[in-house]
Structure 1
């Protein structure tokens, strides 16, 4: 009796979620640039470092999205790690010194969706190798 294997739609969804997350990080990096240019920072060097790190994260997420769309395992692995990191940030937003449940929810929902879809795609890839 054959098992039901999810189609390439799951792969497209996983790539799309990663791409939207990458776009969101690029927007955050742009917001940081505007804050730096407007003098809305306490330490320009730290702000510049944060911009660079945010941009690197956005580029990594974009690369994971492309890799997942192409069926490459390293993209799925990186995507899973990124979703787990995003869940950790969401947990921190919910439980930190100034909790923000709305922010935590905004971060956790796409992270959970991305994690679920990436696990489905990973299982599908493993079933194809059998």
Structure 2
């Protein structure tokens, strides 16, 4: 069965976020090479964690297209973190509205799309229909 429209859009948002984190990882790597990190070990740890998050978002994007529930739930987790980060950035002076909108806004859009995809995929899943046994359809 094909993925729904919201699932495709959510996968695109997750893929863009994975690419953005990959770019951030490159910037961190360049900063480490230029000696701008306060600690080499801390810089390496930050690069590894950023790269892991980028790979995870890429996997969630791919899994969302495959209608995997683990991918949607993992994507929702990352989107909630993004919304929290966007809201937390409002406490910093001076406010960086571009960052707030880029991170928080994208995460909010991704969250809405993932929830919509989950509702549509759940409605079309015969295992989730009440009062019916999915083994009867075989």
Structure 2: any 5+ residue segments left out of the alignment?
130-138
Deviations 1:102-125 (A, max 9, x none): 211111111111011101000011
Shift of 1:98: 5.1
Aligned residues: 124
Q: Which runs of 4+ in 1 moved over 4 A?
A: none
Whichever of the two has the greater Rg, that structure is: 2
Contact 1:15 1:68 (C-alpha < 8 Å) held by counterparts: yes
Unmatched tracts of structure 1, length 5 or more: 1-6
Aligned counterpart for 2:87 among listed residues 58, 71, 91 = 91
**Alpha-carbon distance in 1 for matches of 2:40, 2:18:** 24
Structure 2 match to 1:122? 118
Residue equivalent to 2:25: 29
The 8 Å contact of residues 4 and 120 in structure 2, kept in 1 or not, is answered as no
The partner residue of 2:69 within 61, 69, 73 is 73
TM-score by length of 1: 0.90
Aligned equivalents of 1:64, 1:70: Cα separation in 2: 10
Q: Partner residue of 2:97? A: 101
